[in-house]
Every structure is written in C-alpha cells, then in structure tokens.
Structure 1
Amino acid sequence: MNAHKSDWNDIHIAYQVATLGTLTAAAEALDVHHSTVLRRINALEERLGTRLFHRHARGYQPTEAGIMLTQAAENTQNDFNRLLGKLAGTDNQLSGTLVLTTVNNMADILLPLLAEFQTLYPSIKMEYAADSRILKLEHGEAHVSIRPGNKPKDLDYVVQHLGEIPMTLYGSKSYVQQYGCIRSLEQVVGHRLISTIEPYSQISAIHWMNSQVDPQQISLRVNDFNAFIPAIKAGFGAAPLSCWLAKQHPDLYPLIEPPVQWAIPQWLTTHVDMHRISKVQAFTQFLKQRFKAMHQQK
C-alpha cells in the first residue's frame, strides 16, 4: 500500500464525504466543485488499492477500509482542533518558557534578576543560556538576548540600548596594599595584570591591556572572563571587572575610578516576530527598569 504517499487533502475530502454522506454536501462544505470531490476520492482509492465507499443512489457509505480511514481522520481532526485551541492566544499569555541568552560572564548580575522576575510571573519558566556563542534569535534558539559591546546589526532584530556597565581594574586587599592604587592608566607600570587568551578587541579594557601594557606585566591569561575573580583572589594580580559584579565581592578593591572609555554598552535584543509576545514584553520591560535602577545606584 502507498498510503504514506497519499495527499492529506484527499484524506480530508474522504473524511468529509464519510461524515456528510454525499459528494454534493462534501463539495459545499469544502467550497469546491462536485467533480473535484469525485476525482480526488477515486484517486485516493486507486493509490490505496482499496474501496473506501459503497456507491448508492442516496449517497456514499464507507466500507470497512473507509471506516478505518474515517476514524483515523476524525482523531487527527480532533487533535488538530485541540492544538488550535491551545495555540489561540498563546502570544498573549504570561506563561510558558522564556529563554534568555547572553555571554557567560553575566550570570552574577542577571540570575538574581531572573529570580525576581519569576517571583512576579510564576507561570513563566526561565531558561538561562550563557555561552561564548550567543544563540540565534532568528532560529528560535532564544526569545531575548543581551549583547555587550557593539550594537547588533542583524536584520529583523529589535535592538534597544539597555545601558552601559562601568568597568575598572580590581585587585585583592593584599594586592592593593603591596602595589597601591593608580590615578591614571598611564601609571600602571610595575603592576601585575590578568588578561584573556583571546584578544576581545571590542572590549576596551582588554584592548588596552593588549595594546598599551608591557606583555611582561601580564601574569596570567585565561580563556573565560569568569576566571578573573578567582585569579585575582589567588594572587595573580589585578583584572578589569564590571563594577556591578565587583560590588558583590567586598574583598575586591578598585585601583582607579572607572575609565569612561571602558564602559560596556549592553543591547537588549529580540526578533521582530517575537518582540510583541506578552511574556517577552513583560521581561524586556522588567529588565529595562532594573538596569535603569542599577545605573542610578552606581
């Protein structure tokens, strides 16, 4: 049997004929010509190699095979109707799963905010996807993205400026006691610094270390920004940190006031097809309010 090759439209037509009893009634329900229904029924029976209907003057009566097909089609139709019912209004519901993607050094800042948001909207389940590779919104991998650095220029993205996170050099208490603070970035001679293996030229602090600092002063390079704080506490030297993040570690001390040019812009990004969904709107509005409050407290 070649049932798997059958056109689902033909099965739907057969279902209408079995339900309504005549070709004419099925044609009216489907808004097609009587001859179209007859041709599609005949073609389906030929492909299946079996009779689906007994032809009578008063109409079409399903055969045993027709009854089997009709029952399966009815179950499929019922499943489809239930699915439509679930989908109806989904975009306006403050429920389901919401996926946030960002770089992998934002967890300490964002996870407390996600917990607060879920307290406000307990029916929304959060997924936090932090990685060096930011997920693609156009592929449906995430609903919302927070991107640091240069403004995203992806087509079909809605991009909003979330704010700027100040950065400066931080060291441990013992480091500051031994090496002291600095008044300008030109006074860094003699200090021991921690940098990254990758150049990350879009991050001003890393670019400064790679271009302005003697390589002999770089005591350690790491492949993940999350290693900066453990490396500072381990005694390798000073490293550039987000001031918001550093506030959560009172045993770290700034070496200099945050250089204006080191501030990292944060871009709140959604895909145009997802931007107006209620849960996405609720989350983006919440984030903008919280980031604004954090800026006012800095």
Structure 2
Amino acid sequence: MTISVIAIALALPAGLRVFLTNAELLSDTWEGTADLSVYLKMDVDEFEARRLAVEVESRNDVSQVQLISSNQALEEFRTYSGLGAALEALEENPLPHSLVVKPAGGIEGNVEELVNTLESLAQTAFVQLDTDWMERLRGILELTRRLIDLATALLSLAVILVIGNTIRLEIGGRREEIEVVKLVGGSDGFVRRPFLYLGFLYGLLGGLMAGCLIALSLLLLGDPANSLAALYGSNYQISGLTLPETALLLGAGATLGWAGAGLAAVRHLRAFEPT
C-alpha cells in the first residue's frame, strides 16, 4: 500500500511534466508554420494579384505564396459561414484577392521585416500575422509549468510524510528489539541504518512503479494523441520518459524515501531509551 501511494504521488508530477514536454515540442513545430495573410486592395484585379504573387514568392525570405482569388474566398465563406442566402442578395463580391505567404524557415527574427515590406506594397490593403494564439499558448504552458513545480513540491512533501509515517510504525513495532540493541551498546546510527535502507527501498520501488504507470498511460493515450496531431497537419509522435528522466525519477523516489526515513528515525528513536 505504501509503495502504491508513493508511486501515485511521484507519477502525477512526472506524468504532467511529460505532458508539458510534449506540448512544448508540438508548439515548437507549430510556431514555425505561422503564415502571413496579405489582403489586397479592392481595385487590384486577378491578373495583377497573380503577378504580385510571383514577385513575392521570388524573395529569399519567402518559401511559398498561394493566391486566393476573391471568387474563391467568397465560395469558401459561403461554404463555411452558412450565410449562402444572404450572400446571394449581394450585387457584387465584397471580398478582395489575398495572398497566403509562408515565410522561409530560419527567419523567425525577420518576420516583422517581411511584414513591413509587404505592407509597403502599393497593392496591399493590410497584412495579418496570426501569432496571438502562439503567445497565449506560451503563456498557458508557462503557467502550467509553474503549477507543476508547485504540485511537485507538495507531492514530494507528501512522499516524505508517507514514508515517515511508515517508518514510525516500523520503529514502534520493533521497540523491544531496538531497546535490546541499545542496551548492548548499539549507537543511534546503527539502529537507524535499517530504517534508512527501508525508506530508500520504498522510494525506489515507488519510483519504479511510477515509471510503469506513466508508460501505461502513454500507451493508452498515444494513438488518440497522435491522431489529434494529425488532424492539425502534424506528424508529431508523443514521446515518453527518456532514460535520464527515468533515472531521475528513480533517484528522486529513492532520495525522498531516504529523507523521510531519516527524519522519522531521528525523531522517534529519541523518544525512548532502554530501561
């Protein structure tokens, strides 16, 4: 029972960190795919829009340009808005031609320069760069990281308390044995050592079970998560604990077990002396 409680207490923050790591890696793949939408002035005809698309695509800081004509934009709006009947009442198309510009890779620091250049074109009405959602996502991930740090601290304290209580019960159950050892000259360190080893073992096994719980959770969630990523055009595959992270989890469990056992042993072994 003690090992199971320790495993759950360790698996929760460790599993949340795995989730956060995957979310950050996935957001990094999305961050480099932000496109620019260049809306042209209403008096720009389709021929001029196509010429401009070729001109913009020839730039070194642009990898691809897609022209969306006003008719194509109107058809998409009619399809997805559900306002087909209202659009039929319009005498002319109110939508302009637009260019979807994909910046070249590795120019993250020059996106603003590209935006300024496109805005300065005579045919441009305005340029839209949808990065607000990325800023919000980064803020959410940072808040999540802080909450996970807090949860890690609280659950680490819980592990120490659980192991400390278990060691307290062990010490109480071996009272007579401890008194005999002290009676024949055994030091507190000698008496304390088996309980330290026991706490270390509890923590180590709890960490091992926590790693198994995380692996099982990722096995159950892996396919749905990968399918969800595919819906957003990403081939990202969810990843689990790495070997160093697994070693860190086991080490953390063992260290907390040793600390909890040490604190409990120091406190409770002083509570009685052989009579």
TM-score range, shorter chain: under 0.3
TM-score (norm 1): 0.23
By relative contact order (CA 8 Å, sep 6+), the higher-ranking structure is: 2
Higher strand share: 1
